[in-house]
Structure 1
Amino acid sequence: MSAPGTRVFVVNSGSSSIKYQLVDVATEEAILSGLVERIGEPGGDAADHVDGMRRVLAELGDAATGLVAVGHRVVHGGEAFTAPTVVTDAVIEQIEQVSMLAPLHNPANLAGIRAAMAVLPDVPHVAVFDTAFHQTMAPAAYTYAIDREVAREHGVRRYGFHGTSHAFVAGRAAEHLGVPLEQLKLIVLHLGNGASITAIDGGRSIDTSMGLTPLQGLVMGTRSGDLDPAVLLHLHRQAGMSVDELDALLNKRSGLLGLSGSADMRDVTKAADEGDRDAALALDVWAHRIRHYVGAYLAQLGGLDAVVFTAGVGENSPQLRALALAGLEFLGLEVDPEVNAARSRAARTISPEGAGVAVLVVPTNEELSIARQAAALAGA
């Protein structure tokens, strides 16, 4: 049964929204969850983030009594934060300093932190950073080959994202396999509207596809992923596109949307099945990029025990899981069609019995991961 002394309030704040969940870390139960939307907008749910947080606490009522901690998702921690951190004025200042690296995310995350601290001043607040898990990468993996002084002055390096999800899923995969995480070489595919892939050796991230920002790497819903940087120079010079226009192109009008006309993978697969050539090409490009990274990370790991699918697409699309690994049978990577097609919310193996490398589906739970880390730091 849930006890107040094991409850953590998890906050994921956007620029005009507050996604929240009340988690019992003892039972791993989500007691309550919800979303405050269109904050500060006409007809929205709240006038500002503080007003929104007060409304959330009123909704939670007695369930929020005796919280052990408030856990906050923060997208970018830069080089300053390598682990969950108790929020202080100095920490807020440091998060502000790296906001230039995540201007769409960190200011919104900070709005949620400030609002929650205003209405819950007597509870420890803990920031959990998407980038922290990847701070174990070696310099060879995170360094871009540009002028070193320019890179140092402006913080230009690979940071990686989705770290909370990758770390949680790796731990769950180890539990499912019955092997200590420290003994496993894993490739985790976080495939949703945003997508990334991480090579994990003994529980440590050694390489990941996202970079300075969440734009690099795999093909995503509206983001291009990997691109020759000269494309931007070409479009600036030949098409007269401004920095803001190029930013919008790569982040909001590319990826599956740019290739097929839809950012929703369900629409893209349906269109491809019905003979739409653009949609079929979009899927091919999406899968080609995944296989490119799987091969690269197999080389970096020097061996492989399991490939793990997670997040919306990874957890729910048998068709796309099979497509992502098609042609990699020579590496011992394949899925059993019947097992792959079975629906389940549990961690499971979808590779054939006796396969050289296990292929798993492991549902992610970033809220539970944040709650656990916040509770541990708060001493619960």
Structure 2
Amino acid sequence: MDTPQNTALMRALAEVPGPLPTSGVVHISLPHTERFTVVGNHLAQNAALSTTAVGFAVRIQSLPQGTEVGIKALAARFPEGEKLIAAALRELEAHGYLHRTRVRLPNGRMVTRTVFCNHPEALLRPRPADASKRGPALVAAPVSAQAPAPVTAPIAAPALVTAPVPAHVPTPAPVTPHVPLPAPEALETPAPPPVTERPVSAGPLPPAPPAPRLVPPPTAPKAPPRPLPQPRELTPGLQQAAVALLSDLRRHAPELVLSEADIERLTPATATWLERDTHPDTIRQALTTDLPQPVKYPAKFVRHRLTVLLPPPLPGAEELTPARPRTVVIPLQTCEGCERAFRSRTPSLCRDCRTACEQPAA
């Protein structure tokens, strides 16, 4: 049963034009006439997406509109499990191919509306204001008024066509071949049934606002990395302590094996931590806690944590002491007449004794 299939494959391989490559894949591309889906290379060769996510994107794109594409619906249709399908859908949602929102129906029921875009990068490009320009067609283009009625598929004015002409009979010459058809606004014809979800507009379409994107596209320029911290003065003591700490990391985390060149590059950043009165155990804990599995690039990982988790310098004693307003306290004095306590800058009589002394004199 396998021989005819192999024979047909070898015959098709012999018809491939040009010399065949000595290694690698050889494509035998046959044109599809039915049941096919166009997939862009931005999806098929996206290195940021897993193979499972790309496969489910192709599967969702090939399904007819209105098909349920939830996690349970896809798990019932395909052999993958729900966890693998949920992870693939999250990847597609993060890269803009899939968008899921919760909407409320008129009867009050909450449902999840899933929208799949086969080319999310095209939504971010500015669209021309003139709808006649070539670009990503979101609505059907209006029928041209200068095209002959028997040639175009959607007939704009059925009243002008008398009868269908058989294919084997030559078409007679029209009586008035040079008379243009009236403008679409002047024709009083019944509205054709809608073929798309959006209405056909004869005028220019306003530019659509760009779709919001939560995650930047893979081709977006990345921000430059932060510079490596540098100490104010790299003393021999700081350098020796930093080299010893970096060399000792593999005892506490076997994944963090650094070469001599890596230790030499990371020594100034580690010395900056020590210069800011950071204990070596604190630095070691910051570099070895919650390690990713696996650590592909230990030197880059240590450089990132030394740069991002750098603590600020310790404040001085003057900075820790808050400035308090100076208050003047008047001392207590003992009245020389009645021996009561009262506040006064100098020893004297209280107010009552001063008043009693002043009355006889008056």
Bin for the TM-score computed over the shorter chain: under 0.3
Structure 2 length normalisation: TM-score?
0.20
Find the structure with the greater CA-based Rg: 2
Normalized per residue, the structure richer in helix is: 1
Structure 1 length normalisation: TM-score?
0.19
Normalized per residue, the structure richer in strand is: 1
Q: Which has the higher contact order (CA 8 A, sep 6+)?
A: 1
